[in-house]
Amino acid sequence: MATDIGREATPARMILHLDLDAFFAAVEQRDKPSLRGKPVIVGGTGGRGVVATASYEARVFGARSAMPTSEARRRCPAGTAFLAGRFGAYRATSAVVMELLRELSDLVEQVSIDEAYVHIAASDHDLSAAGLTTLGRELQSRVTEATGGLTAAVGIASSKMMAKIASELDKPGGLSVIEPGSELEVLHPMPVRALAGVGPATGAKLHTLGVETVADLAAADRDVLTSVFGSAHGTGLYALARAQDDRVVVSERAAKSISAEETFASDVVDRRVLDAELNRLVDKVTARLTSSAAFAKTVTLKIRWHDFTTVTRSASLPYATGDPSVLRREADRLMQAVDVTGGLRLLGMGVAGLTDHAQDELALFDTVIGAEAAEPVEAAPSAVISPDLAGRPVAGRWITGLDVHHDEHGDGWVWGSGRGVVTVRFEGPNTAPGRIRSFDASDPALSLAEPPDWRESRA
Ligand code: TTP
Ligand code: MG
């Protein structure tokens, strides 16, 4: 293939897509050896929590990202671990992987905490199928080595679209190289839903047109597609079916702000309706913040009154946070100050001042995704009292999965808590599976700890 590429005036683009397998759960299994090979769910553990991810062992029972945790509890067997997230540990692991990718190329586009595109330049790499396969395999083993055992799915192809499809062909742990010229061979037998841009609604509409596979879509008339889906979406589908995707790899960290807005069909004066709408916008924005693993310092409200006057109001927090409830409270506060008597035509909410790390180690609680202890500990010791971002102290909780240190017994993690008792399993990434012990929740010898460093050599 290298010779084919060499004949072209501009060499074919080659893009690598990497996505870590069951990322949050894999980090938990690395740091908690007793959970290796077991079903693990990471996510909100409280009443209304949702699953962030499930280990492949838990997926066997049907647990999936975005499923209510209560449903995952019903599906998974006894002995399944339900853990709140430890974003600090995920971030540190992600950073190591992104660094490895930057060794391959200057052009790395990180699209989420565990996923990136890399532009593979002909001047630096052998772009033959064999050369790319070697490159992919070596990268996978470097990732596993550097992360203390995580695995990655890797796809290499001539466009972002095909590279991502390639990485998904053989998850977990797979490597697929799609040679230039063979894109349609791979793509056409796939169901249309495999295409990014074909969601449930589009899929259902295509089904009524008799379109099931990408090949069916490729055979569909362009005019039919644009009349059914509108000009932009129809043309997009037409291009996707032909594997036409010329999006470039953009190395700069993407958005520096995230926002969402809603224009109303008629002016809205009812504060309850506006509050509900604001809630929805906050959900949308904070979900995107979480999925880009970012933290925000500034909350912005955008208001357009009935007379089209448009203003933005913003408030800045002392620390960058990823905590949806803090961002919601700030947005609500800004909203309360808005005069809505004449009616609003548009409402928008956004966050800015994005950083990729929390600026205060005590913000630990803000970075735990949807963390809610199943049972609050009555007598919270001072060690788990986290200052609320507005300066108001909130009662801390021993949340399942968090890293702790005991003066006498050493490092471990919260295995469970409630009724004034906290149970800790004493183990770490480089130890054998450890023992569990229970303590009074106010035991002064017990404190929250930093995530363990998997790179520290075994004692
Ligand atoms: P994904 O790469 O989508 O999922 P994954 O790495 O857990 O599993 P896979 O092997 O299928 O790639 O997302 C990466 C991480 O982002 C995931 O581990 C947890 C987090 N996440 C959420 O918090 N909520 C979500 O709805 C999804 C999809 C992911
Ligand atoms: Mg992943």
The model's pTM = 0.71
- Which of 28, 109, 115, 427 is labelled catalytic? 115
Same structural domain, 370 and 349: no
For the CA of 23, the nearest ligand: 1
172 preceded by a cis bond (ω within 30 of 0) = yes
Strand order in the sheet with 435-440: 435-440, 421-426, 410-418, 403-406, 446-448
pLDDT score recorded for residue 217: 96
Q: Going by CA atoms, what residue is nearest to atom 12 of ligand 1? A: 21
Indicate whether 81 belongs to any domain.
no
pLDDT score recorded for residue 288: 84
Number of domains in the chain: 3
- Cα(115) to centroid of ligand 2, in Å? 7
Asked if residue 155 lies in contact with residue 17, where contact means CB atoms within 8 angstroms, the answer is yes
Indicate whether 455 belongs to any domain.
no
Q: Which numbered atom of ligand 1 lies nearest the CA of 115?
A: 2
- Cα(111) to centroid of ligand 1, in Å? 12
Structure tokens at 202: 């589009």
Longest dimension (CA), the chain: 73
Indicate whether 165 belongs to any domain.
no
pLDDT score recorded for residue 261: 93
CATH number at residue 235: 1.10.150.20
Q: Going by CA atoms, what residue is nearest to atom 10 of ligand 1? A: 21
- Cα(107) to centroid of ligand 2, in Å? 20
| CA distance linking residue 216 with residue 214, whole number of Å | 5
pLDDT score recorded for residue 349: 96
Same structural domain, 395 and 443: yes
Indicate whether 286 belongs to any domain.
yes
Same structural domain, 297 and 264: yes
Which portions of the chain are predicted below pLDDT 70? Answer: 1-12, 251-256, 292-293, 355-396, 458-459
Residue whose CB lies within 8 A of the most ligand 1 atoms, among 20, 53, 90, 290, for a mutation test: 53
Indicate whether 62 belongs to any domain.
no
Q: Which numbered atom of ligand 1 lies nearest the CA of 114?
A: 14
Sign, CA dihedral 374-376-381-383, equals positive
115 catalytic residue (yes or no): yes
Which of these three, 310, 337, 353, is where a domain ends?
353
- Cα(52) to centroid of ligand 2, in Å? 11
Same structural domain, 270 and 336: yes
Indicate whether 1 belongs to any domain.
no
Which of these three, 172, 205, 240, is where a domain ends?
240
Q: Are strands 403-406 and 410-418 parallel, antiparallel or unpaired?
A: antiparallel
- Cα(306) to centroid of ligand 2, in Å? 45
Structure tokens at 266: 């008629």
pLDDT score recorded for residue 363: 31
- Cα(334) to centroid of ligand 2, in Å? 36
Same structural domain, 207 and 268: no
Residue 245: count other Cβ atoms within 10 Å of its Cβ.
18
Structure tokens at 233: 């979406």
Same structural domain, 366 and 326: no
Same structural domain, 211 and 293: no
**Secondary structure E strands in 8-140:** 15-20, 40-43, 51-54, 81-83, 108-112, 115-119
Q: Which numbered atom of ligand 1 lies nearest the CA of 54?
A: 7
Same structural domain, 369 and 330: no
Same structural domain, 265 and 308: yes
Same structural domain, 332 and 263: yes
For residue 160, give the H/E element and its range.
Answer: helix 160-168
Same structural domain, 406 and 377: yes
- Cα(271) to centroid of ligand 1, in Å? 36
pLDDT tens-digit map of 16-44: 999 999 999 999 999 999 999 999 999 98
For 355, which DSSP code?
B
| CA distance linking residue 198 with residue 16, whole number of Å | 22
Indicate whether 391 belongs to any domain.
yes
Which of these three, 312, 327, 353, is where a domain ends?
353
pLDDT score recorded for residue 297: 83
Indicate whether 117 belongs to any domain.
no
CATH number at residue 262: 3.30.1490.100
For the CA of 112, the nearest ligand: 1
- Cα(224) to centroid of ligand 2, in Å? 36
What is the extent of the structural domain holding 411?
361-448
Same structural domain, 264 and 349: yes
Residues with CB under 6 A from ligand 1: 19-24, 52-53, 65-66, 113-115, 171-172, 290, 369
pLDDT score recorded for residue 309: 85
